[in-house]
Amino acid sequence: MPLNPDSVGVQGVPIRRSWSSTDAMLYALGVGAGVDDLAFTTENSNKVKQRVLPTFAVIIGGGGIPLREIGTFDPTRLFHGAQAIELLGEIPPSGEVETIGRISALWDKRHSAVVEAETESRDQATGDLLVRGRWTLFVRGEGGWGGERGPSQKLRMPDREPDHRVDYQISENQALWYRLSGDRNPLHSDPWFAGRAGFDRPILHGLCTYGFAGRALLSCLCGNDPSCFRTMSGRFTKPVFPGDLLTVSIWKNGREACFQTSNQHGETVLDQGLCTVD
C-alpha cells in the first residue's frame, strides 16, 4: 500500500552509539583498507597514530530515523538511493554520539517511493555536533498516493579527463566483512533473500561502495588526512557485486571535487558524487 505522507517532519527518539578503536579498524577493513593504510587499520604501529576514515560517519551516525512512521512495506523492496555526510570535526578512534533523525521528505514516483531522512550526531564527550547525514531510501512498488515527485536536478560530470583515477578490486568476501560493522541486511549475505529481491547472488552494501569511494577521495584530495575532509554525497545507480573491479574517477575544482564510480563493464554504480575539503 502507499506510504504515509504525514510522516514527513516526524522526529525519532535520540539514539546513542558508542564505538571502540576496534570498531573503527573493523570498518576500515570492511571498505578495503589494509597494510598500506596502517593509520586506519592498526592502533599500535610504531610512530603511527590511529585515525578514522571519514565515511565511518555512516556507521556512528546512522540511528534515530523513525522509519516505522512511514508505514509498512516489503523489506526486499527497500534500497539505499543516495547518501550524504558532513563532518564538523575529525572522528576520534573511540567515543559516543547521540543521534536524532527525522523524516525530511517523501516523494511519490508513482510506481515507487523515495524517503529522505536527516540525522545529526553530537559528540557526548564534548557536546559538539560531530556529523550530519542525509539518507535517501528507494522503496519499489510503494508510490501512487498522488504526492509530489520531488526535485530532478542532476549534477553533470566535467567533460574532460579526470584528475585522478583509483582502481579497487572488491573481494568476494567484502560484504561479509562489511556487515560486521552493523548492517546485517541478508540482502548482502543470504543467497535466498537476494533471490527474493531479484538478484542471482548477494550484492555489496551501497555504503561499502560509498566507503571505497571515500577512501579514494581522502587519498587523492587530502593526502589521507581526515581533518581536511568535510562533505561527501553520491547516488547509488547500479548494484555492485563482490568480486567486481571498481574505478573511482575524480575531477577537482578548488576545494570541491566531483566523482563517479564505475565497474569493470564501464557501468556507473555511484553517480552525482560531490566532495568538499579544506
* Catalytic center residues: 183, 188
* Separation of alpha carbons 246 and 3, rounded Å: 35
CB 120 within 8 A of CB 99: yes
Beta bridge partners of 206: none
CA–CA distance, 251 with 278 (Å, rounded to integer): 16
Helix (H) / strand (E) containing 217: helix 206-222
- The one-letter code for the residue type at 201 is R
List residues bridging with 167 in a β-sheet: 247
Which phi and psi angles does 2 have, rounded to 5°?
-60, 155
| Rg (alpha carbons) of the chain, rounded to whole number | 18
* 3-class DSSP assignment, residue 80: strand
